[in-house]
Amino acid sequence: MPVPAPAATLSVLSEEFAADPYRHFAALREQAPVHHEPEIDSYFLSRHADVKRVLTDHEAFTTETLQLRAEPVMRGRVLAQMTGAEHTAKRKIVVRGFTGPALQDQLRAIRSNATALLAPFLHRGRIDLVNDFGRPFAVQVTLDVLGLDKRDWRQLAAWHHGVAEFITSVTLTPERRRHCLDCAERLEAYLLPVIAERRRHPREDLISRLCAAEFDGVAMSDGDVTALILNVLVAAAEPADKTLALLFKHLIDHPGQLAAVRADPGLLPAAIAETLRHTPPVQLVPRRARYDTDFGGTGVPAGATVFCMIGAANRDPEAFTDPDSFDLHRPDLGTARSFTAAAQHLAFGTGLHQCVGAAFARAEIETVAAMLLPLLDEVRYSPGFHYRETGLYTRGPVSLSLDFTPGTAPGPGGRPGEGNPGRAK
């Protein structure tokens, strides 16, 4: 394998970096922790302490970059652009949509979505965990949370893909830009009649909650509600499906840890947290510097765009011992706080805009992974399968073709272990 380029000559926009960013993180942290990328005039921060500082100093680092990066496709302001009382109030409304009593209903829906999607593959003994299962599963779960019709999931997923491409592209051609904006317009046209219907006939879903909620005594406009629906749709689906696939990849690559999780599914939260630390699906979080700022001797000018490199920060030896190893037993992981505001890893961000869906993501991935483990007995890569990841902003496997010996069939409630006795190990 060729030696990684020295940080001084490396471009984070290069194919070499895109092929495997993890090979370059140590050089960036050590030699260019504030890396300037001239082509897009932006700064890339790779040290854990610097990333944490940017994400928690809300006065000095704002989310104004989202006016250009997100607003055109979100059709309005998303949570990350809000501050103060408005942010607290609207964040609370969103969070109630997938916690407490709402979560119990959603866990049932998660199991039944997973059971239905897995059914055609179980007897075949082969599944692409990304394309056959993870992507449709994560979109369908998000549609359930919002209260959108799952029968439309393919169309909604295609529009969602265009919206996500706009937000997560570091460079975008004029043609792709037009395509993304077109997806956003179609998605908005689909959502407006749904919003009108939920205003007349509220249900128990997040869209109805958003329609009924008031801020400062005033109900949210259709535009505000649309932006928050898109906010959840885009934020929830993609990182969840990537995390699920990465979890299985790491466990397959570490058979001892896979055996430990099979023997004790109580270890799943630690395995998910370590997956998020080791290979966070959201790799970049953008901010704008309000003032000239110094990072250990390197200056960032006022107005500059700063990208927090979550993958590099999570592998900083100043924050984690032996950071390049995947070890769900690592003493510095702190599983109990890994899905809270006190998390040491930065996969959910940190500070005021830390992921609102972290606890839900844990419940979703833990539930489905606990179902999959006994079903996918003797799980291994399919013969000839070549593993490849893509993405600079969000990153995950292109596919994950797995062979397995069909194990325990799901029972009537969709829970594993309620059907035939299996040979789970």
Nearer residue to ligand HEM within complex by CB, 7 or 145:
145
Tokens of 365: 């991935």
Determine the interface stretch with ligand HEM among 5-13, 67-75, 178-186, 347-355 (rule: CB under 6 A): 347-355
How many residues sit in the footprint of ligand HEM (CB under 6 A)? 26
Determine the interface stretch with ligand HEM among 22-30, 90-98, 168-176, 328-336 (rule: CB under 6 A): 90-98
E strand intervals along 239-375: 284-289, 293-295, 298-300, 305-309
Q: 373-384: buried (b, 16+ CB within 10 Å) or exposed (e) per residue?
A: bbbbbebeeeee
Q: How far is the CB of 38 from ligand HEM (least distance, A)?
A: 24
Q: Is 77 left (phi over 0), alpha (psi -120 to 50) or beta?
A: beta
Phi, psi of 205 (to 5 degrees): -105, 175
Q: How far is the CB of 26 from ligand HEM (least distance, A)?
A: 22
Q: Give yes or no for residue 207 binding ligand HEM (CB under 6 A).
A: no
CA–CA gap between residue 369 and residue 142 (Å, rounded): 17
> Quick one: which of 95, 91, 68, 66 has its CA closest to 81?
66
Near ligand HEM by CB under 6 A: residue from 98, 307, 326, 339 = 98
Q: How far is the CB of 33 from ligand HEM (least distance, A)?
A: 20
Residue spans of alpha helices (H) in 291-335: 310-313
Nearer residue to ligand HEM within complex by CB, 242 or 254:
242
Q: How far is the CB of 287 from ligand HEM (least distance, A)?
A: 8
Q: Please give the torsion angle defined by the CA atoms of residues 328, 329, 330 and 332, in that order, rounded to the nearest 10 degrees.
A: 100
Tokens of 307: 């990208």
Nearest-CB residue for ligand HEM? 357
Provide the residue type at 153 as one letter: W
Q: How far is the CB of 290 from ligand HEM (least distance, A)?
A: 16
Near ligand HEM by CB under 6 A: residue from 180, 343, 355, 402 = 355
| Residue 408 Cα distances to 235, 372, 414, 420, angstroms | 33, 9, 11, 6
Nearer residue to ligand HEM within complex by CB, 285 or 376:
285
Q: Give yes or no for residue 268 binding ligand HEM (CB under 6 A).
A: no
Nearer residue to ligand HEM within complex by CB, 15 or 59:
59
Near ligand HEM by CB under 6 A: residue from 53, 58, 91, 186 = 91
Near ligand HEM by CB under 6 A: residue from 32, 347, 371, 379 = 347
> Quick one: which of 135, 126, 139 has its CA closest to 375?
126
Provide the residue type at 304 as one letter: A
Q: How far is the CB of 294 from ligand HEM (least distance, A)?
A: 22
| Residue 378 Cα distances to 79, 226, 416, angstroms | 43, 44, 16
Provide the mask over 211-250, with x wherever binding to ligand HEM is found by CB under 6 A and - wherever it is not.
--------------------xx--xx--xx--x-------
Provide the mask over 297-316, with x wherever binding to ligand HEM is found by CB under 6 A and - wherever it is not.
--------------------
Nearer residue to ligand HEM within complex by CB, 74 or 80:
80
Helices 222-253 + 84-96 axis angle, to 10: 60
> Quick one: which of 70, 79, 83 has its CA closest to 206?
79
CA–CA gap between residue 369 and residue 371 (Å, rounded): 5
Q: Give yes or no for residue 348 binding ligand HEM (CB under 6 A).
A: yes
Near ligand HEM by CB under 6 A: residue from 134, 269, 281, 397 = 281
Determine the interface stretch with ligand HEM among 127-135, 154-162, 255-263, 354-362 (rule: CB under 6 A): 354-362
Nearer residue to ligand HEM within complex by CB, 134 or 349:
349
Q: For CA atoms 137, 139, 140, 144, give the dihedral sign.
A: positive
Residue 193 burial (10 A CB sphere; 0-12, 13-18, 19+):
exposed
Nearer residue to ligand HEM within complex by CB, 270 or 356:
356
> Quick one: which of 141, 210, 207, 203 has its CA closest to 360?
141
Q: How far is the CB of 127 from ligand HEM (least distance, A)?
A: 21
> Which residue ranges make up the site for ligand HEM (CB under 6 A)?
79-80, 91, 94, 98, 145, 231-232, 235-236, 239-240, 243, 276, 281-282, 285, 347-349, 353, 355-357, 360-361
